[in-house]
Each structure stands twice: as structure tokens, then as C-alpha cells.
Amino acid sequence: MWIAFKRIVRAGFVGFWRNAFVSLSAIFVMSVALFVIGATMMIDTLLAVSLENVQDKVDINVYFVTTAEQTDVDLLQTSLEALPDVEEVVFTSREAALEAFSERHQNDETIMQGLEELGDNPLGSSLSIRAKDTSQYEGIASFLSEQQAIEDPQNPLIDEVNFLKNQEAIEKLTAIIQAVENATFAIMIVLVAAAILITFNTVRLTVYTTREEISVMRLVGASNMFIRGPFMLQGIMYGIAAGVLALLILYPIVLWIGPETEQFFQFNLFNYFVSDFAYIFMVLVGAGIIMGVTSSLLAVARYLRV
């Protein structure tokens, strides 16, 4: 068995180098497919981080009427803090809201003149409510709706609850991310299928050039595994080389866009690539080996009938 194994390995390496041009063609095509897989992993990570960042910033803002009594606001805040789904409730006074509004629009003369003409603070106090999980916001919104329903119409407390606007933003972002993920997955499947097909034809060509050697091996009683072995090894070599090449192509790209993603997404893609390099390496090289071996087995089984 050891002698047979050494012969299979030697035959595989000889076949790989003897058909160097054909091998390079297969490696190049597989590298493109593996690069798309790697790029898809990077894109999916960025999309997941962006969605998570948006979800972390989402809250429910409850705006009170300007005539709201502080005791009523405090009572509602206490009730909200007692809910098991609520992580945090932050109160903003009328004065703090006016100060933030003025600072935000300090360069807008029209708005600032309007505030001066009013002479009174037109803003009410508010509560910012953060849930422990984004799926729990609907329960909090339902609680607030119940509170609004039992209010005295002649003496309301809550002016507006902005949950629906935030919910629409989250749903739109989730739909966009899902569409992008589906598109990248479809492209990845097409390229992987193309890589397998081209590698299959490459191995088929290699098999054709060695058909006489295979006939001799069959005549002397060589087993099917002994015949398949060198071609499977070549497929493994194609996969390893293609995976390493895809990583070499991916490295400078993530190095270049890493600072940009950190600025825009607060997430450095290059740091992720480095920290999870072992996982990315195993995925790309493993996928390359699977594609190479699958192509080799299909070519040998179909066209040699071994």
C-alpha cells in the first residue's frame, strides 16, 4: 500500500507539471470563483455589521406635549423601566431638547429667528427607550399605545411615538441586505459551477492525453483507486494553489478598503481578515480542494469508465 501510495503521489505531481499550461488555466478559473467566495464572506460581514449598528441605534422616542406634568412623565418612565423588555429609558427635559435643537440649527438664521419670535420653548420633554432586543420593540410600542388609549382626550400626555418610522427604516435596510446577499450568492454559485466545469474539462483533457497509460494500467490489473488517485491529487493541488492565489488577491484589496470601512461602518475589514485568517483560509482552500476533487472524479468516472 505504501508503494502504491508513493506511485500515486509521484504520478500526480508528474501529471501536474507535465500539463503546466492546462493546470494554470484550471487554477486561474478556480481562483476567480474562490475570490468571489472570499469577497462574499467580506460583504456578508459588512452587511451584518451595518445592520447590527443600525439596530443598536434604534430606539423608541416618546415626545410629550408641552403642557405635560413632570409627575406624569416620571410615572410613565417608571412604568417603562419596569417592563422586562426594556434595557434603558433616558429622559430629556424641555430645556435640554431646546438646547440641542438650537445647537443643531445654529447656522440656520430662519429657524433661530423663529425661536426668538416665539419667545417660549415650543419643544416638549421626551423619553428615549432602548429594548434588550430589536424584536421586543413592538411589545413596548403596544404598551405605549395602550397608555395613549387610556389618556384623557382633553388633557393628553403623549404627543407622538416614533416607533413606526424606525421600524420602516429597519425593514427597508433588512430587505436591501437580503437582496444583496441573494445576488452575491447567485453570482457565487454561477462562478463555482463554471470553475467546476472548466476544471472538469481540464482534467478530462489530462485524462485523454494519458489514455494509453491508463489502458496499460488496466491491463496489468491496476485498481480503480490507483487510476483515480493521481487525478484526485492534481485536483487537490489545483484547489490549494487556487485558494492561496485567491487569498493573495484578496489581501491587498481588504488592506486598501479597511480604513474606509472603519470610517463608514465603524468596522475595519482588514482587521477582520487578519483575525479570522485561519477560518477564511480553511474555507477558501477547502472549497478549492472540494471543487478540484469533484471535477477529477467526474472526469475520470464518466470518460474512462473505471
Distance CA 222, CA 292 (A): 23
Q: What is the pLDDT of residues 83-118, one digit of tens each?
A: 888 888 889 888 888 888 788 877 777 777 777 777
Q: Cα–Cα distances in Å, from 281 out to 74, 123, 236, 248, 288?
A: 55, 56, 15, 11, 10
Backbone angles phi, psi at 92, to 5 degrees: -120, 120
Q: What is the pLDDT of residues 208-253, one digit of tens each?
A: 666 677 677 677 776 767 777 777 888 888 889 989 999 999 999 9
Per-residue cell: 49: 455589521
| Better-scored residue on pLDDT, 19 or 261 | 261
Domain 66-156 has CATH 3.40.190.10: no
Three-state SS annotation for 133-190: CHHHHHHHHHHHHHHHHCCCCCCCCEEEECHHHHHHHHHHHHHHHHHHHHHHHHHHHH
Per-residue cell: 290: 472540494
List, in order, residues 6 or more apart from 21 with CB less than 8 Å away: none
How many other C-beta atoms lie within 10 A of the C-beta of residue 226?
Answer: 17
- Residue 290 confidence (pLDDT): 87
What average pLDDT does the segment 177-189 reach?
76
Q: What is the pLDDT of residues 67-87, one digit of tens each?
A: 888 898 899 889 988 988 888
CB 43 within 8 A of CB 180: yes
Per-residue cell: 25: 488555466
Radius of gyration of the chain (CA): 32
Alpha helices, DSSP H, located in 19-93 = 20-57, 70-81
- Residue 305 confidence (pLDDT): 58
pLDDT at 15 over 70: no
Amino acid at site 171: E
- Lowest pLDDT segment from 13-17, 96-100, 113-117, 138-142: 13-17
Q: Which residues share a beta bridge with 86?
A: 131
How do strand 126-131 and strand 60-64 relate by DSSP bridges?
antiparallel
pLDDT at 282 over 90: yes
Instruction: Quote the DSSP letter at residue 124.
Output: P
Per-residue cell: 112: 433661530
Residues of the chain with CATH 3.30.70.3040: 66-156
